[in-house]
Chain A
C-alpha cells in the first residue's frame, strides 16, 4: 500500500491550518473596536452568500477559464431561499431545491 501522498496531505493540512486558526488564536480580538466587530458580524452572510453564488453561477469545464452559468441550479437555489424566508426552515429550502433540480434533469437531461 502506497503511503507517499500522506506527506502531501500533511503539507496540504499545514498550508490550510493557518487560515483556520490565526484569527481564532489572535490575542485581543475581543478588544477590537465596535466597527471592526460589526464588520466581522457581517462576514457570515457575506461569505456564505458568496460561496452559494459561486457554487451555482460560476462553472469551469476541465482546464478552461471560468464562465457564468445561469441554469436550473440557480433557479432552484432562489426557490430554496424563498422557502427558507417563508417557512424559516433551511432543510425544507434544501429539499425544494433538490427536488426541482432532480425533476428538471429527469425531464430534460443535459
Chain B
C-alpha cells in the first residue's frame, strides 16, 4: 500500500500546493483556506468553490455544486460499509470524514487483499493523503508564486493514472472488468452531455450493474459466486463476527 500511495502523495502534494496558491489569489485568508481543507477535504469542490467565491456566486449555489461534486463519496462509502459493519459507530463516523478518492483507492484493495477491514491501514492511507495535502496548502499559500505549473511536469496525470492503476488491481475477473469498462464509458458519455460530476456518479452506479449481468460461473470472478465463500476473501470472511474483528 505504501508503494501504491507514493504516487498519490506526490499528486496530493502538487495540487495541495496549487490549491494554496489559488486560495491566496482568490482572496481567502489562510484560516479560511485551511478551514476548507479541514471541513470539506475534497479537492475538486474546494477548487470550484474558490472560483465561485471570486465570481460572487451565492453561497447556496456553491453548496449545491459541492453536494453534486461530492456525491460520488456515497458510492465509496457504500462499497466500504460491509467491511466496516462491525466497528464502533463513532469510529465509523470519524473514518467517514477522511473518505477521499485516494483513501478509498488505497483502502479497498487493502481490505480485499487481506480479506478483512484494516482500520489502522485505513487511517494510514488517509493520513498519507490528508497531511501532505494540508502541509502543501500552507506552502502554496505562503510561497507559491515561484513554483512551476504542475501540468508542465505532467503531474496533472498522476491522479487519473493512480485511479486507473488501482482499478486495474481490483479487476480479478470479467465482472470487475465489465464494471470498470462500462463505468468509464458511461461516465464519459454522461459527463460530456451533462456534467463531469454527474458522469462519475452515473458510471459508478451503472458500471457495477453491468458487471452483475455477467454470469458468475462464466466470469470466474474472485468472490463472485458467493460473497463469503471459504476460499475467497469477502467483507464478512467465513464468519461475519470473525471477519470483521481485524
Residues of A within 8 A of B (CB): 1-6, 8-13, 15-17, 19-26, 29-30, 32, 34-35, 37-58, 60, 66-68, 73, 76-77, 80-81, 84-85, 88-91, 93-95, 97-103, 105
Asked whether, in the complex, the Cβ of B160 is within 8 Å of the Cβ of A56, the reply is yes
Residues in A with CB closer than 8 Å to B86 are 30
Q: Chain A at the B interface: mostly helix, strand, loop or mixed? A: helix
CA A93 to CA B93, docked complex, whole Å: 33
Closest chain-A Cβ to B4's Cβ sits at a distance in Å of 4
Count class of interface residues, chain B: 35 or more
Asked whether, in the complex, the Cβ of A24 is within 8 Å of the Cβ of B29, the reply is no
CA A49 to CA B212, docked complex, whole Å: 16
Residues of B within 8 A of A (CB): 3-4, 6-7, 28-32, 35-36, 38-42, 45, 49, 53, 59, 62-63, 66-67, 70-82, 84-86, 89, 92-93, 95-97, 99, 101, 104-105, 108-109, 112, 151-171, 175-177, 179-188, 191-192, 195-196, 199-200, 202-209, 211-212, 216, 223-224, 226-228, 234-236, 240, 244
Partner of B77 from A21, A34, A58, A93 at Cβ < 8 Å? A21
Asked whether, in the complex, the Cβ of A29 is within 8 Å of the Cβ of B82, the reply is yes
Residues in B with CB closer than 8 Å to A30 are 82, 85-86, 235-236, 240, 244
Which residue of chain B is the closest to A4 with respect to CB atoms? Answer: B32
Which residue of chain A is the closest to B151 with respect to CB atoms? Answer: A105
Residues in B with CB closer than 8 Å to A3 are 29, 31-32
Residues in B with CB closer than 8 Å to A45 are 167, 170-171, 176-177, 179-180, 183, 207, 211
Asked whether, in the complex, the Cβ of A85 is within 8 Å of the Cβ of B168, the reply is yes
Asked whether, in the complex, the Cβ of A54 is within 8 Å of the Cβ of B199, the reply is yes
Whether A91 touches B7, Cβ cut-off 8 Å, given contacts A5-B28, A19-B73, is yes
CA A14 to CA B164, docked complex, whole Å: 29
Residues in B with CB closer than 8 Å to A88 are 169
Asked whether, in the complex, the Cβ of B99 is within 8 Å of the Cβ of A20, the reply is yes
Asked whether, in the complex, the Cβ of B81 is within 8 Å of the Cβ of A40, the reply is yes
Asked whether, in the complex, the Cβ of A25 is within 8 Å of the Cβ of B92, the reply is yes
Closest chain-B Cβ to A72's Cβ sits at a distance in Å of 8
Whether A50 touches B235, Cβ cut-off 8 Å, given contacts A20-B77, A98-B155, is no
Asked whether, in the complex, the Cβ of B82 is within 8 Å of the Cβ of A84, the reply is no
Known: A9-B35, A24-B84, A41-B79. 18 other contacts (CB 8 A): A4-B32, A6-B32, A6-B35, A11-B59, A19-B70, A20-B77, A26-B81, A43-B76, A46-B208, A47-B204, A48-B180, A51-B200, A66-B191, A77-B161, A90-B4, A91-B4, A97-B157, A100-B154
Most buried by B among A2, A35, A99, A100: A2
Closest chain-A Cβ to B244's Cβ sits at a distance in Å of 7
CA A107 to CA B209, docked complex, whole Å: 42
